[in-house]
Amino acid sequence: MGTCETQSLGVLLLLSWAITIQARSSLYITYKDPSQPVNIRVKELYKLMTLEEKIGQMTQIERTVATPQVLQDYFIGSILSGGGSAPAPNATAQAWIDMVTNFQKASLSTRLGIPMIYGIDAVHGNNNAYGATVFPHNIGLGATRDPYLVKRIGAATALETRATGIPYAFAPCIAVCRDPRWGRCYESYSEDHSVVQAMTDSVLGLQGDIPGDYPRNFPYVAGKNNVAACAKHYVGDGGTQKGINENNTIIDYEGLLSIHMPPFVDSIAKGVASVMVSYSSWNGKKMHANRHLIIGYLKEKLGFKGFVISDWQGIDRITYPPGENYTYSVQASINAGLDMVMVPYNYTGFFSAVKSLVNANVIPMKRIRDAVKRILRVKFIMGLFENPLPDPSLANQLGSQEHRDLAREAVRKSLVLLKNGKPGSQPLLPLQKNAPKILVAGTHADNLGFQCGGWTINWQGSSGQTTAGTTILQGIKSTVDPSTQVVFSENPDANFVRSQGFSYAIVVVGEAPYAETFGDNLNLTIPAPGPSIIQTVCGAVKCVVVLISGRPLVVEPYVPAMDALVAAWLPGSEGQGVADVLFGDFGFTGKLPRTWFKTVAQLPMNIGDTNYDPLFPFGFGLTT
């Protein structure tokens, strides 16, 4: 072959390659064009997808198994960090950003370049990331009765989540907890659905305010400073028998709709991007397989247009033992209306099961189409195709002073004053700042991990200086007069207390951290040595007891010995907020979001029940 012929062939090959690239570009340009309507982009992208790519979009896997090869081979649509799952070392926002960036680049290198969406349990701040602002858990926020505060916390949480490169938060939990024995009760704003409904303004904080002309019940995420939110857990998880996690909620249809459903109605109206299904059952029917409530009510009756996601290995729980007959669980959950499934490890089994069930017409293609289009809709709406990579300029939002100040405000507003003064004596609060000598006692006075609770750095939480923040003891020391001597003794004996000439004592005790099933508790007593510390200290000197807990506990036997009692819930990283109110810089404004029982034999007991005889009623709260 001569030189001219060779050159001609080369030109033809280049021309052919150019025509192929041009054709491919024109084929793909519609879904990549942000000026096109979202529904058109979804439709055009869906038409280009193979069955394997569609199943991939429905699959969410844990970060520890999300290698670039897995993301590319299985077209994975979403990755998550389970509780405590973090890059090593979990020390900076940049470590998270680098991890998410590497995952996203692998997803973008697939044939269609569909970005994955990374999700995390940012349930009281971006609580998995070291150094993040840790806000009070939801039960404390419910005590504030301040939806605007909760909205601002949502916006701050969104920024701190985006600071680590993550665009999707599994929050808010909008359960209506009807029994404090439930280990997730602190994740619930209240036993009263109307309080929970008001607090769904957290969705607007996380995602941004919806424009006035926005389509009804469509997901909405304002931009890259916001995150996609997730209303959870659908539906009735707060009403299980004896508060046992993942148990059965026995209630008639009208009761389910009137007590547990209203917060979901409000969240959908506020544009929530996703809804997570509950592990629990309703009258014996597993929610992960409840087609009537997922497709029939959530999608059709309420008109929800975002996507429905399972809980962690939630489809496995459809059978007993969990994981038995996995193919059936996949069939039952997808046909019930689940769109994205939190596998999180068994992606190969899930992928294979869905594919075989679709090919056998057991799972209809219309169900796959509905699921994938919902997921793509959210990704397009939130701008993930245009801005798939983390924005490093947001890294300084993690644990910012502005957010810590907001958390401190939330702590102040969440405190509920239950007692102030014994009969015939003057109120103890506010405390005197310039008292000569004061005692601070208790297991929770100088323990940041205890005051933050579960879902903090680790899934179950832990003891000690687990992250950046201020303990209650540190807050007290920075508030009192410089001349005041502050003595800390975690568990002092009576002789020591009597002999030291203390003006008064602050006793801080409560629950150790827990999450979910590990927190289920049928007794609800203050853990030892809390009761003995209360009795010893309060029997020897004037005392205020600050109770750190995720729910009401048995306190009636100890209340007579106390001069004052404060429910501080799980205040988070800013313990200074407790001192702000104890010493009178701010007044007490919190109101009980839950009924405070006398004995556990009364449970479940909620406002409006017959024979309602609490120690402190729902809505109670003294002021100073």
Active site residues: 311, 516
For residue 275, give the amino acid letter.
V
Strands 230-234 and 274-277: parallel
Query: In this structure, what token pair is assigned to residue 555?
Result: 């306190």
Q: Edge-to-edge strand order for the sheet containing 59-62?
A: 168-169, 117-120, 78-81, 59-62, 341-342
Spatial contact of 227 and 207, defined as CB atoms under 8 Å apart = yes
Specify the residue for token string 């245009």.
386
The residues, any chain, with a CB within 8 Å of residue 435's CB and separated by 6 or more, are 480, 484, 503, 504
Angle 365-381/326-336 helices, nearest 10 degrees? 60
Kindly state the helix (H) or strand (E) to which residue 141 belongs, with its residue range: helix 138-144
Spatial contact of 275 and 337, defined as CB atoms under 8 Å apart = no
Q: CB-hemisphere CA count at 13 Å for 167?
A: 28
Q: Quickly count: other Cβ atoms within 10 Å of residue 97's Cβ.
A: 22
Instruction: Return d(Cα 435, Cα 543) in angstroms, integer.
Output: 13
Spatial contact of 536 and 509, defined as CB atoms under 8 Å apart = no
Query: In this structure, what token pair is assigned to residue 94?
Result: 């940049």
Nearest to 443 by CA among 507, 388, 498: 507
Question: Which residues share a beta bridge with 169?
Answer: 120
Query: In this structure, what token pair is assigned to residue 454?
Result: 């579960």
Strands 485-489 and 168-169: unpaired
Specify the residue for token string 């010893």.
536
Burial of 80 (0-12, 13-18, 19+ CB in 10 A): buried
Instruction: Return d(Cα 545, Cα 359) in angstroms, integer.
Output: 64
Reduce the DSSP state of residue 451 to 3 states and report it.
helix
Nearest to 80 by CA among 98, 94, 99: 99
For residue 262, give the amino acid letter.
P
Nearest to 293 by CA among 257, 339, 317: 257
Instruction: Return d(Cα 591, Cα 407) in angstroms, integer.
Output: 18
Query: In this structure, what token pair is assigned to residue 102?
Result: 């590497």
Q: What sections of 385-427 are H helices per DSSP?
A: 401-414
Instruction: Return d(Cα 614, Cα 253) in angstroms, integer.
Output: 28
Spatial contact of 580 and 409, defined as CB atoms under 8 Å apart = no
Specify the residue for token string 């429910």.
567
Reduce the DSSP state of residue 264 to 3 states and report it.
helix
Instruction: Return d(Cα 314, Cα 323) in angstroms, integer.
Output: 10
How many degrees, rounded to 5, is the angle at CA 566 between CA 441 and CA 538? Answer: 45
